[in-house]
Amino acid sequence: MPSEKILLLGVNHKTTPVEIREKIALSGGYEEPLAAMKNIQGLREYYLLSTCNRVELLLVTEAESNVEAAIVDFLFGGRVPRDECPQYLYMLYDKEAVHHLFMVAASLDSMVVGEAQILGQLKEAYRYAAHFGCTGPLLNKLLHKSFSVAKRVRTETAIGSSAVSISYAAVQLAKKIFGNLEDKNVLLVGAGEMAELAAEHLVGNGVGSVTVANRTLARAVDLAQCFKGKAVAMEELVAQLEHVDIIISSTGATEIILHKDEVKSVMRARMNRPLFFIDIAVPRDLDPRLNELDNVYLYDIDDLSSVVEVNKSERDKEAVKATRIVDEETLKFERWFLGLAVTPTIQALKEKMDGIVQLELDRTLARMPDVTDADRENLSRMVTAITAKILHDPLMYLKSESCAGRDNSDLKVTTVRELFGLQKGDNEKPS
């Protein structure tokens, strides 16, 4: 069997509430945690990804090592009671780990399926891990393969082309009004899941800046930090309108938080530059009469829902195609990985047979002093051909897919090694 195993473990938006994710997010960057992981025994290669929605560790460990407990302690760092950790955690091995990584890279595991930001986050995390010497041959190949899988999904499907969430639909409307969003400044009012989703889409579309206003300033700071933005108090809401272009409001307020007259005074200060409001709160945050003002555009959740419904079925079809691509690429990588166990045995078998043939050929030729050089060459070619024919079936057996899976691959290797008397160490690492 391969002398290494692949292990992926972590938490994400599906398994873990935001208040837990906040506790283990790497707000200080990658350098310190990557350095700390060097002290964990049994790790051969490792990589760490931290975003607002997930923290994941991808590891290559010794096949017989038991690093799981140490890694879980590292991930949660005592910030979550140990007996609570398993309910938030997923732990995947080998094929399942590879499949999950490819799903993440292809944005099929994202809070918003098809969003483009995650691939850039994966590449950034990889740059840090490679720079600090944490990755090696196996993770380098695996991570580069994840990037190519994501590219293939983008090329062969339209997974990222349709708005299938309220937040994404809001951003699509903003693009219709402003065109390029790269120089636009955004104000998120409220710091819940809807605001987080909207921020992900906006940052993915290259907005100039993100400001977060929330009644709980600490939560605003946390969300703003994820997107390299800034936080303000809710009392600064009206003053901020002079400096932004897009406002997405999703608070839990029970009454209107921004009225027509307040915005009217701001528009004079803005010299009537367009102001785009998206109200995705229920009940509504924003005064419906804002639409009566010149160069002010207000959309509420009903406006956005119609966009979503039209596109949802199309995105679902594309997700099926994308998942099929991920499944296919996972299978290819698994075959390559299992081949790491088979290849040394193939090499050892060839070397043993070549050694036997050469020894017997030399003995025979030593008893035939009158043989010509041409005859020697012909004899050499003949025994080489015989060797190839004898080895053909055993090699096909080792390379075949009839015994797919790690356990069956181990069985094939063991059978051939015992049958041909290959000793442990003959071109094979201990398993």
The DSSP string of 165-179 is SHHHHHHHHHHHHHS
**The two three-digit tokens of residue 100, written as one number:** 């999950």
- Across 304-313, 336-345, 387-396, 418-427, the highest mean pLDDT is recorded for 387-396
* Residue 114 pLDDT > 50: yes
Looking up residue 104, the CATH number of its domain turns out to be 3.30.460.30
- pLDDT grade for 308, boundaries at 50, 70 and 90: low
- Across 161-165, 197-201, 403-407, the highest mean pLDDT is recorded for 197-201
Q: Do 75 and 211 have their domain in common?
A: no
* Residue 430 pLDDT > 70: no
Q: Do 146 and 210 have their domain in common?
A: no
Give the Cα separation of 6 and 409 in Å (integer). Answer: 16
* Residue 310 pLDDT > 70: no
Looking up residue 192, the CATH number of its domain turns out to be 3.40.50.720
The boundaries of the domain holding residue 210 are 166-309
Residue 410 confidence (pLDDT): 66
Residue 427 confidence (pLDDT): 55
User: Nearest-CA neighbor of 89 among 69, 108, 59?
Assistant: 69
Kindly report, residue by residue over 238-258, the tens digit of the pLDDT: 999 999 999 999 888 888 999
* Residue 267 pLDDT > 50: yes
Residue 409 confidence (pLDDT): 61
* Residue 2 pLDDT > 60: no
In a domain, 339, yes or no: no
| pTM of the entire predicted model | 0.61
* Residue 65 pLDDT > 60: yes
**pLDDT top residue among 412 and 143:** 143
Q: List the catalytic residues.
A: 52
Orientation angle between helical segments 301-366 and 94-105, nearest 10 degrees? 140
CA 415 to chain centre: 37
**The two three-digit tokens of residue 350, written as one number:** 């060839």
In a domain, 228, yes or no: yes
Residue 127 confidence (pLDDT): 95
Q: Do 268 and 170 have their domain in common?
A: yes
- The alpha helices in 53-136, defined as continuous H runs, are 68-76, 85-88, 94-105, 117-131
| Total domain count, the chain | 3
Residue 232 confidence (pLDDT): 95
Half-sphere exposure of 251 (CA within 13 A, CB side): 23
Kindly report, residue by residue over 5-64, the tens digit of the pLDDT: 899 999 998 888 877 887 787 767 899 999 999 989 889 999 999 887 889 999 999 877
- pLDDT grade for 407, boundaries at 50, 70 and 90: low
Backbone phi, then psi, for 90, in 5-degree steps?
-120, 145
- How do beta strands 246-249 and 275-279 pair? parallel
* Residue 402 pLDDT > 60: no
Last residue of a domain, one of 135, 156, 177: 156
Q: What is the number of other CB atoms lying within 10 angstroms of the CB of residue 369?
A: 6
* 151-163: burial string, b at 16+ Cβ within 10 Å, e else: ebbbeebebbebb
| SS3 per residue for 347-387 | HHHHHHHHHHHHHHHHHHHHCCCCCCHHHHHHHHHHHHHHH
Give the Cα separation of 97 and 80 in Å (integer). Answer: 24
Residue 195 confidence (pLDDT): 72
Among 12-21, 110-119, 173-182, 353-362, which stretch is predicted with the lowest mean pLDDT?
Answer: 110-119
* Residue 261 pLDDT > 90: yes
Q: Do 266 and 303 have their domain in common?
A: yes
- pLDDT, mean of residues 266-281: 89
Residue 1 confidence (pLDDT): 47
Last residue of a domain, one of 126, 156, 186: 156
**The two three-digit tokens of residue 427, written as one number:** 């071109």
Give the Cα separation of 214 and 231 in Å (integer). Answer: 8
Q: Do 8 and 148 have their domain in common?
A: yes
Q: How far apart are the first and last CA of the chain?
A: 5
- pLDDT grade for 306, boundaries at 50, 70 and 90: low
* Paired strand residues for 188: 212, 248
Q: Do 149 and 171 have their domain in common?
A: no
Output the average pLDDT for the chain.
85
Residue 244 confidence (pLDDT): 94
pLDDT above 90 covers a percentage of the chain that reads 40
Q: What angle do CA 32, 35, 40 make, to 5 degrees?
A: 125
Q: Do 184 and 88 have their domain in common?
A: no
